[in-house]
Structure 1
Amino acid sequence: MKVTPLKDVKPYKSGWKVHVKVLHSWKQYNPVHGDTLEMVLSDEAGCKIHASCKRTYMESKGRLLPVGAWRHIQNFTLSPSTGMYRATDHPFKMSIIQNTAITRSPLINEDMFLSLVDFQTVLSGSLKTCFLIDVIGQVVYLGDLETIQVSAKPRMKVEFTLRDMNDARVPCCLWGKFAEILYEGCSKDEEGKPICLIRFAKIGRFRGISLLQYINDLIIKFVRNVL
C-alpha cells in the first residue's frame, strides 16, 4: 500500500498507511476508555498528528511505538481533533484500533521536528490557546521551588522567565515533576545562564499577561550554544 502524507489523511476511510516518527508519548486517564497511551507522531515532512491507543491495545500495539522510533502504521481511524489542549494543529486525531498494523522502518532520522514559536507572537495574544507549542529561551529569572496545597494535596511549583534572542521575555510556571526538573537543571548550570527547550507547553492568561504553563505532559531539555 502506498504511504500517504499525514496532511492528506481524512476520516472517510481507515485503510491509510503512514510513515511516522514517535516524538512523544504519555499515559492519561480517560473517563470513557480508562487508561490510554497518547502520542505525538510526525512524518518526514514535519506534519504532526495526535494519536491515541486504548488500554486494550497497549500491550499488542502500544509497545511497538517507542519514542524516537520510525514506524509504518496501517489501518486506523480518524476523528475531529477538538478540546482545550491540542498537541498538534492537525484537524484530525488518530486512533489505534484492533486491526492496526505497525511495522518497523529502517529510516534513521534524528530530526526533532520542532515547531518553535517566537516570544513576541506568544506575548501578542494572537495564538489560539488550545494548541500546545514549542519554545526555547534562556532562563533569566528563577523563583523558589515552592510546595503549594492543591485540592488538599501538596504540589511543587516554580515560576521563571525565559528570554529569547531579541530580549523578549515570557513568564512561565511549571508544576509537579516538571517544576523539579526545571529547578534542578537550572541549579546545575555552571555558567548560570541555562538555555531551556520546552515542548508541548500551554499558553495561559493571567491578569492580561500571556504566560507558558504545562498541561498533561511535556518535554524539558537543557541545551547549549543556540542563543
Structure 2
Amino acid sequence: MTTAMDMVNKINPEKEAWNLKVRVIRLWTVPIFTGQLLPNSMEMILVDESGCKIQATVRKTMIYKFKQLLSEGRFRTTVRDAICDFIPKSALTISPFTELLETNEDSDFLVDVVDLLVSMSKEKEYDKDGKKMKMAVMELAENDHRIRCVLFGEYVDEHNRFLSFGYAKLLVVVLQLAQVKVFRSLCVSYPCSLGRVGLQNVMFTSKLGFNIDIPEVAAFRKSFIPHGVSASQPISIVGS
C-alpha cells in the first residue's frame, strides 16, 4: 500500500506527523556562538514538487543521528532515499526589484534574486563588537532598477575568487536566501542614488553563485538584461 504524501502548504498545527516527499535545496550548520567550532543546529530548506518551501531544523542533540543521512539536493528518510526527478532542483523564488524597493523595514523573510553585477566596492574590513570581518558591496541591476548588496566574510572570498578568473562582463549573480535591509547609513563609499533598500547575505545560510547554468539565469539573459547596459560593459570598481 502506497503512503499518501502531504504537501508543504498543507502543514498546520492540528497534527504532529506528516508524510513529505521533498528535496533539500540548502543545508547548513549553525555554530555555537562562543568561538568554538561546534554545531548548535543543522538547518535546511525543503521544497516539494509544487515548489513550496519550508525550513527544517535538527537540534544539536540529534545532529549525530541525521548528519550522515542528509545532503543538499536530496532528502532521506530514516531508511531510504526519496529520489524524485519531478521535484525542482534549484527552486528559486525570484523577487523582482520593483517589489523589494517598496520595503520599509528590515525583513526576516529571505529572498532569492537573479541579477546583473554592474559594479562593486573594494574590499573593506568591518568591525562589529570587536570582531573584524571582510566586507564588500555589489551593485546589482534589473532593467532600470539598481540595488546594492552587502557581502560579509566568506561570501567576499567567494566573490573575489570568481572574479579572479577574469569574468568581467555580463556577470549574472544568483543570490539565494538573502536578507532585505533598509540601510540607515553606508559603511563604504557608494552612490547614495541607489536608495536605502538593499540586500545582505546571511552568514552560513545564503548561497552565492555567478553565471550558473540554470534555467533562471538563461531566462534572465534572454529577457531581463538591464536597459542601458551593453554586452561589452565591464564591471566598475566603486569606492576608495
1:111-190 to structure 2, matched below 5 A, reads 111-125=89-103, 129-164=107-142, 166-190=143-167
Indicate conservation of the 8 Å contact 2:134/2:152, yes or no: yes
SS of 1:57's partner is helix
- The two structures have a TM-score, normalised by structure 2, of 0.74
Contact conserved, 2:178 with 2:202, CA < 8 A, in 1? yes
Structure 2: where are the runs of 5+ without partners?
34-38, 185-194, 213-217, 222-240
Greater relative contact order structure (CA < 8 Å, 6+ sep): 2
13-22 vs 62-71, greater mean Cα deviation: 62-71
Q: Distance in 2 between matches of 1:118 and 1:154?
A: 32
- Specify the alignment match of 1:206 in structure 2: 183
Q: Which has the larger radius of gyration?
A: 2
Deviations along 1:164-208, one digit per CA (max 9) or x if unpaired, are 2x1311111111001221233234343433111000000001137
**Distance across 1 between alignment mates of 2:54 and 2:84:** 19
Q: Is the 8 A contact 1:145 1:180 kept in 2?
A: no
Name the CA distance, whole Å, in 2 between partners of 1:128 and 1:148: 20
Q: How many residues align?
A: 196
Give, as a single letter, the amino acid of the residue that structure 2 aligns with 1:5. M
Q: Residue 56 of structure 1 corresponds to which residue in structure 2?
A: 61
Classify the secondary structure of the residue corresponding to 2:174. Answer: strand
User: Aligned partners of 1:102 and 1:123: how far apart in 2?
Assistant: 46
- Letter of the 1:28 counterpart: V
Structure 1 CA distance, aligned partners of 2:181 and 2:40?
27
C-alpha distance in 1, partners of 2:21/2:84?
A: 10
> Percent identity of the aligned residues?
23
State the alpha-carbon separation in 2 of the partners of residues 211 and 220 from structure 1.
16
Q: The residue matched to 2:68 in structure 1 has which SS? A: helix
Shift of 1:38: 0.6
CA offsets 1:40-75 (integer angstroms, 9 cap, x no match): 00011111011000122212223212100144x5xx
Q: For 1:93-133, what per-residue CA distance to the aligned partner results, in whole angstroms no more than 9, with x for missing partners?
A: xxxxxxxx463113235531110001111112268712000
RMSD: 2.2
Quick one: which of 174, 186, 207 aligns to 1:219? 207
- Bigger fraction of residues in strand: 1
Gaps of 5+ in 1: 74-100
Matched, 1:16 2:21: no
